[in-house]
Structure 1
Amino acid sequence: MFDSILKLWAEAPLAILIPAGLIVLLVLRRLPIVGPVVNLAVWLAIGAGLYFALDQRARLDPYLGSIAGLFDKQEVVGRELRIRMAPDGHFWANVRFGGIERRMLVDSGATFTAISSATAGEAGLAVRQEPFPLLIRTANGTIAAQSSEIGEMRLGNIVARDLAVVVSPAFGETNVIGMNFLSRLQSWRVEGRTLVLVPHHPQGAG
């Protein structure tokens, strides 16, 4: 009997499951002991859902990216810049260059720092229109890119000058910090859910 009920519940369409679930929640919220716990769980679920939705959308929208960046934990501790892992399992750094600020993905698997064409335009980067574009392998296949250079890039207590970057519209609005930046550091490592960057010459936190 119980197995039959579970089978019917599993096969029921969302049009039935959602109203049924709401009715169960309303009943549980009225119980004197269980009610407060259910209320807390509901609000936590709503908050988590909104955060994840914002975080995913922020990858494609620079304006939402700046809002999502407010929730990132990036702090200077002594000589180190410590970046906490985001809910999506990646490390995102708040970076400034060319008079703009961007939330950039730190990716040790990327050879070069990669900037979207839109970001390069807003930062006033001089993109070299070479006759033979660079061919870069990404998770989505091989794309064509041009080269440029960031005069000064700041994140926390780290300053990188004359940093070579690749630029392509194929990057969408995703900007990536690659190994050509990380290799300039004295060291970098991952401690649990925290990325630790140690510069050779720490600067005033930006």
Structure 2
Amino acid sequence: MVLVANHGDEDGAHHDTAVDFHGNPADKSKTGGWLAAGLILGTELSERICVMGISMNLVTYLVGDLHISSAKSATIVTNFLGTLNLLGLLGVSWQMLNLVALYTIALGGGGIKSNVSGFGSDQFDSTDPKEEKAMIFFFNRFYFCISIGSLFAVIVLVYVQDNVGRGWGYGTSAGTMVIAVAILLCGTPWTVSRPQGSL
């Protein structure tokens, strides 16, 4: 459960400090809210699909397709997942270039973890009781998107990798993320940020 507290000024009044994409005071009728939050939820859903779709079957790919030993493959997967999670703290041969792509995904996945939920909550004004309730509902949807993305990756993408081909499975993961980032970038003008944060 997420608790959101309103913080008033000394005079008891509540002021929204949201700014738009250009750093100007945000116009609530044109920015923030569910449109911007939906873009963020879609990006998080895609990140889960991409990361889980790759990591669930990665050892099999490294051993079977790249002919790397089981021990080294396990180390690569551990390093990938470690890099993915640790980067959240900071918001040869041709086949080996795949590992560069793998760590690029870890970089992106780690980067999104440190700020996506906070950025999503910024789309709602916690000083407005109606938007405060919407913010709490946003967090419910946020974790729902994480779960659905993981479920899709573990069931559908692993099946595609094993039965259709790794290129299709990994390509679907990458394509999902590219589309999500493109949509998020196109929707950036509707987003707001709050220098003090929403919580």
TM > 0.5: no
The structure whose residues are more often helix, as a share, is 2
Scaled by the length of structure 1, the TM-score of the pair is 0.23
Scaled by the length of structure 2, the TM-score of the pair is 0.24
